[in-house]
């Protein structure tokens, strides 16, 4: 600016202020000459170039007004002047002057124009002031005063309305219209804040604040009511009210506190009601007791009803929480479709997170309350059915917990497991003692059941056919396609609107009548009439078996018709003269099966004790097997027979049972009340009832009782086999080897008891000693070949015919299954064959013709024997034939024969050497063979 002023002064120009002070600024404006304008126009118009020229002017030219430019330029001249350089420098200065002069001229022109505009504007404003403003101000003042008075009137009316809102608020609170009341309060507060400059408003604000606090208190009470009985419209009003207050998060915190309190109050009141009811007029102040202590005063009679009501009440609380979550989910879905504020999004996220966390917390509170109730009573003396009901109720509650929050209910499982193990030990101990009593009083008579009997017809196994398993929730159990649609729903779906999943436990179910026993041991009168009719007649086939369907009213799947040929062949081989192929079992067996069903019910309901239950089930079978063996199979006679009647597996099983389960101490009392912990787990060895006689030859040494006992055990083993897959699903993975071992080493050995049990019958039914005596009287050193067999063969065959007849007599009372008859015939034939070999080994002298006679006798025996029995091949046939043919062996062959045939006794082998080979070998060779026999026998001694 200083530069511009200096330049204007030198050019004789006035400043802007001086120009504005002059009324005719245009007259004093210096107009450049034509030459100057032409020179300026000749200069190129380049802003950048002009700016560079201006920038090249020395700073000293703008320093002050007294600066002498001429003197300054003269001083800059060099001592020696150059005309060309001077002209160039002159041109440069001229260009700088022209550029700066153009800018100054333009600026002066603009300033003068602005001064003219301002002057004209001031003149016009003066005219407007005189002609318009002063005349209109009065009118505007009056209008403003009118507006103020109108606003005052409106305010007075609003204040009057605010003073009367308390009456409407009271009405809305009585109607439980909390959102409307809050909305009205908030509007009143907003209006009051507008008129806070009035002195009467301060009192109204205080009153409105008190009203809001009162509404919040009532809201809290209304919120607590939703914890037990959820109502959609009621809860919607409450949530809307809290939303208007801006306390959605606080409301959710309060809600969870109310649910916790509701659980505590609910369980306390239920238990207190039963305790006071059972206590009568007792002076005990139960209301002041802690809940845990209160649970210990529940009586055994009121335990199940109280537990049921407890679970029903807790279900209502959890259902209310479930419906609360559903309400919020539906609201979230609706609000997602509209625009949301950030605050609303935060509230929704908080509510969702709080509700999800509250699931686990509420279920944990429920578990702890029920746990205190479960452990508050000793259930070891409960009846089985009552205890099953308890397990079923708790199992249903655990299913509720899994659907509620996906919990495995570890707290409930642990508490009920403790009670179950305690109960089950006592229960199982009593059942083992009961089983011993049954076995010792069992007469081993046939329990008549229908031909189509199976364990599924027993009440104890009905649970296996039911679709609903109380211990398995729908998330873990595949629902059958035949399951009704009602059962396919989750509990919270099924009972969402009405009903209660625990109602079923207080209803007394009528026991269905079992239809498993045959009338008087027969299934029909027609069957009894057909007992003695010919096998080839159709009359020996029950009408039920001729039909395509059998209707026993048991709900069983219709049976397919059986061919007549199958029935005839089966009846003939099984000595089944008067029975259908109904299972052979005793009352004791039926009771054991029922007991197993009860154990499985308990295991099915409470899987954590599955291993303990299966272990006890195995003990029931072990004890039954051991008792049958002890009563009918233990005999020292067959130990030395060399027949291998007891396999190593069966012997190992019997030894294990005796060591782990049987109390071998003297006296039953010592076994029951012994101090040792292991003694408490053992049971005294059972004793056969004195009413069972096994020494009477007329009854084939108790064959009927032996058949009933053994085949009952085999039938029991078959039922265990059918249950294996079900037990396997219940058994924990770590314990499954125990179950597999039980089946492979114990259950599968049941049929092996047939050999030792029926051996004594075969050993005593035929007089083998008489046959030995008769064989001893036969002369074997004959010189000519005989065409007639010896008499002892006929006597032996007659014994077999008599044995066959006696089997038929026994079968009139008890059906003899084909496996039993095969074992009996196998034992008899094997004993006969070994007796023949023993008889042949007793021969002192024998010729080639005598050996031929032996072959003739044996072939005659085999030919007649094959007509008496269907057993093929004949057992030990090679045993006799090989021994007879050994007579023809040379010395070297005999030595190899002795090494390869160790099934013969030392005496029998020595007889071959002394009698048979003695005629054609020397003494030294005979001694060598006898020494070889002695070497074989030495390890046995």
Q: 371, 584 in Cβ contact below 8 A?
A: no
Q: Model confidence at 836, in pLDDT bands (50, 70, 90)?
A: very high
Q: What is the DSSP letter of 284?
A: -
Three-state secondary-structure class, residue 480: coil
415-431: pLDDT as tens digits: 988 888 888 888 899 99
pLDDT of residue 442: 92
pLDDT of residue 828: 93
**Residue count of the chain:** 941
Tokens of 745: 């080493």
pLDDT of residue 712: 93
Residue-range domain boundaries for the chain: 247-403, 434-463+582-663+689-752, 766-887, 889-940
Tokens of 280: 């009568």
267: Cα separation from own chain's centroid: 27
Question: What sign results for the dihedral spanned by CA atoms 411, 413, 416, 421?
Answer: negative
Three-state secondary-structure class, residue 499: coil
Q: Which residues pair with 399 in a beta bridge?
A: none
Tokens of 875: 């057992």
Q: What is the DSSP letter of 631?
A: I
pLDDT (average), residues 247-274:
90
Tokens of 100: 């700066």
Q: Model confidence at 542, in pLDDT bands (50, 70, 90)?
A: very low
Q: Model confidence at 860, in pLDDT bands (50, 70, 90)?
A: very high
CA nearest neighbour of 367 among 440, 310, 441, 305: 310
d(CA 183, CA 212): 10
Q: Model confidence at 2, in pLDDT bands (50, 70, 90)?
A: low
Q: Which residues contact 592 (CB under 8 A, 6 or more apart)?
A: 435, 620, 621, 624, 716
Element at 871 (helix H, strand E):
none
d(CA 96, CA 828): 151
Three-state secondary-structure class, residue 509: coil
Burial of residue 745, with CB atoms counted within 10 A of its CB: 0-12 exposed, 13-18 middle, 19 or more buried: middle
Q: 684, 672 in Cβ contact below 8 A?
A: yes
pLDDT of residue 203: 62
Q: Model confidence at 436, in pLDDT bands (50, 70, 90)?
A: very high
Percent of the chain past pLDDT 90, that is, above it, reads 27
pLDDT at 529 over 50: no
Query: According to the per-residue pLDDT averaged within each range, which of 409-423, 564-578, 706-720 is highest?
Result: 706-720
pLDDT of residue 898: 86
pLDDT (average), residues 665-694:
68
pLDDT of residue 669: 43
Helices 342-375 and 410-441 cross at an angle (nearest 10°) of 30
Gyration radius from the chain CA atoms:
58
pLDDT of residue 468: 41
pLDDT of residue 261: 93
pLDDT at 457 over 50: yes
pLDDT at 664 over 70: yes
What are the angstrom distances between the C-alpha of 863 and each of 2, 794, 803, 866?
A: 156, 12, 17, 6
Q: Residue 405: CA atoms inside 13 Å, Cβ hemisphere, count?
A: 22
d(CA 878, CA 875): 8
Q: Which residues contact 433 (CB under 8 A, 6 or more apart)?
A: 672, 683
67-92: pLDDT as tens digits: 777 777 777 777 777 788 788 778 88
The helix, strand and coil proportions of the chain, stated in percent and rounded to the nearest 5, come to: 70, 0, 30
Residue identified by tokens 């950048």 is 48
Chain-wide mean pLDDT for the chain? 77
Three-state secondary-structure class, residue 876: coil
Q: 554, 515 in Cβ contact below 8 A?
A: yes
pLDDT (average), residues 885-899:
84
The DSSP code sequence of 121-146 is: HHHHHHHHIIIIIHHHHHHHHHHHHH
501-515: pLDDT as tens digits: 887 644 444 445 566
pLDDT of residue 210: 72
pLDDT of residue 12: 53
Question: What sign results for the dihedral spanned by CA atoms 172, 176, 180, 185?
Answer: positive
DSSP H helices in 336-409: 342-375, 384-405
Q: What are phi and psi of 170, to 5 degrees?
A: -60, -40
372-376, 518-522, 757-761, 816-820: least confidently modelled range: 518-522
pLDDT at 593 over 90: yes
């Amino acid at each position: 600016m200083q530069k511009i002023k200096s330049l204007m002064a030198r050019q004789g120009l006035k400043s802007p202020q001086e120009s504005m002070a002059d009324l005719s600024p245009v007259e004093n404006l210096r107009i450049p000459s034509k030459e100057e304008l032409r020179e300026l126009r000749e200069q190129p118009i380049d802003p950048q170039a002009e700016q560079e020229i201006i920038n090249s002017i020395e700073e000293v030219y703008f320093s002050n007004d007294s600066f002498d430019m001429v003197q300054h330029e003269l001083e800059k001249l060099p001592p020696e002047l150059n005309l060309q350089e001077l002209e160039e420098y002159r041109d440069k200065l001229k260009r700088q002057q022209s550029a700066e002069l153009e800018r100054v001229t333009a600026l002066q022109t603009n300033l003068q124009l602005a001064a003219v505009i301002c002057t004209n504007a001031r003149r016009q404003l003066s005219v407007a002031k005189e002609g318009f403003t002063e005349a209109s101000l009065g009118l505007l003042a009056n209008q403003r005063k009118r507006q103020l008075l109108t606003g005052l009137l409106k305010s007075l009316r609003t204040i009057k309305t605010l003073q009367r809102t308390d009456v409407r608020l009271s009405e809305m609170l009585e109607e439980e219209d909390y959102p409307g009341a809050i909305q009205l309060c908030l509007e009143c507060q907003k209006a009051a804040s507008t008129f806070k400059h009035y002195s009467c408003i301060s009192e109204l604000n205080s009153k409105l604040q008190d009203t809001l606090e009162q509404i919040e208190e009532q809201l809290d009470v209304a919120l607590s009511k939703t914890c037990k009985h959820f109502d959609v419209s009621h809860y919607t009003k409450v949530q809307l009210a809290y939303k208007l207050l801006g306390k959605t998060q606080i409301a959710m915190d309060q809600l969870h506190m109310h649910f916790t309190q509701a659980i505590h109050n609910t369980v306390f009141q239920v238990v207190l009601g039963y305790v006071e009811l059972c206590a009568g007029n007792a002076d005990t102040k139960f209301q002041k007791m802690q809940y845990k202590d209160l649970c210990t005063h529940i009586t055994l009679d009121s335990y199940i009803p109280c537990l049921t009501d407890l679970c029903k009440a807790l279900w209502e609380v959890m259902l209310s929480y479930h419906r609360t979550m559903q309400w919020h989910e539906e609201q979230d879905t609706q609000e997602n479709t509209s625009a949301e504020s950030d605050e609303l999004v935060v509230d929704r996220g908080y509510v969702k997170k709080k509700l999800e966390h509250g699931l686990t917390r509420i279920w944990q509170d429920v578990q702890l309350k029920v746990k205190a109730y479960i452990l508050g009573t000793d259930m070891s003396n409960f009846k089985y059915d009552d205890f099953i009901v308890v397990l079923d109720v708790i199992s249903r509650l655990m299913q509720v917990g899994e659907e509620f929050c996906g919990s495995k209910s570890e707290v409930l499982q642990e508490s009920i497991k403790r009670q179950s193990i305690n109960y089950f030990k006592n229960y199982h101990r009593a059942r083992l003692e009961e089983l011993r009593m049954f076995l010792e009083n069992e007469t081993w008579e046939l329990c008549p059941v229908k031909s189509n009997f199976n364990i599924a017809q027993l009440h104890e196994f009905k649970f296996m056919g039911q679709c609903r398993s109380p211990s398995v929730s729908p998330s873990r159990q595949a629902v059958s396609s035949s399951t009704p649609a009602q059962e396919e729903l989750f509990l919270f779906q099924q009972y969402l609107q009405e009903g209660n999943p625990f109602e079923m436990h207080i209803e007394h179910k009528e026991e269905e009548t079992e239809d498993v026993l045959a009338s008087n041991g027969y299934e029909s009168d027609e069957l009894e009439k057909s007992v003695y009719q010919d096998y080839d007649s159709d009359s020996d086939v029950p009408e039920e078996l001729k039909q395509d369907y059998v209707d026993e009213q048991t709900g069983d799947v219709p049976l397919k018709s059986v061919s007549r040929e199958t029935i005839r062949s089966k009846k003939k081989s099984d000595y089944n003269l008067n029975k259908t192929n109904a299972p052979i079992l005793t009352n004791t067996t039926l009771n054991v099966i029922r007991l197993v069903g009860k154990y499985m019910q308990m295991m099915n309901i409470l899987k954590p004790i599955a291993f303990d239950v299966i272990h006890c089930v195995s003990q029931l079978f072990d004890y039954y097997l051991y008792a049958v063996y002890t009563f009918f199979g233990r005999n020292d006679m067959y130990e030395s027979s060399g027949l291998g009647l007891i396999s190593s597996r069966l012997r190992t099983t019997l030894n294990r049972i005796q060591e782990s389960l049987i109390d071998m101490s003297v006296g039953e009392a010592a076994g029951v009340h012994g101090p040792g912990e292991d003694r408490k787990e053992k049971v005294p060895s059972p004793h056969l009832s004195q009413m069972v006689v096994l020494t009477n030859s007329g009854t084939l040494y108790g064959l009927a009782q032996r058949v009933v006992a053994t085949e009952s055990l085999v039938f029991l083993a078959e039922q265990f086999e059918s249950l294996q897959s079900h037990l396997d699903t219940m058994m924990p993975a770590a314990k499954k080897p125990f179950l597999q071992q039980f089946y492979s080493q114990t259950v599968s050995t049941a049929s092996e008891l047939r050999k030792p049990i029926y051996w004594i019958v075969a050993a005593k039914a035929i007089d083998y000693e008489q046959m030995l005596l008769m064989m001893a009287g036969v002369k074997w050193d004959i010189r000519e070949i005989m065409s007639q067999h010896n008499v002892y063969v006929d006597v032996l065959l007659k014994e077999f015919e008599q044995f066959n007849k006696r089997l038929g007599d026994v079968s009139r009372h008890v059906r003899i299954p084909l496996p039993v008859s095969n074992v009996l015939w196998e034992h008899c034939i094997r004993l006969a064959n070994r007796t023949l070999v023993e008889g042949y080994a007793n021969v002192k002298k024998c010729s080639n013709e005598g050996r031929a006679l032996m072959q003739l006798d044996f072939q005659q025996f085999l030919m007649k024997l094959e007509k008496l029995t269907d057993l093929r091949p004949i057992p030990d046939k090679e045993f006799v034939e090989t021994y007879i043919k050994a007579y023809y062996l040379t010395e070297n062959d005999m030595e190899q024969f002795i090494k390869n045939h160790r099934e013969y006794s030392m005496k029998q082998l020595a007889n071959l050497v002394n009698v048979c080979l003695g005629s054609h070998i020397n003494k030294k060779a005979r001694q060598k063979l006898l020494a070889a026999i002695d070497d074989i026998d030495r390890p046995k001694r």
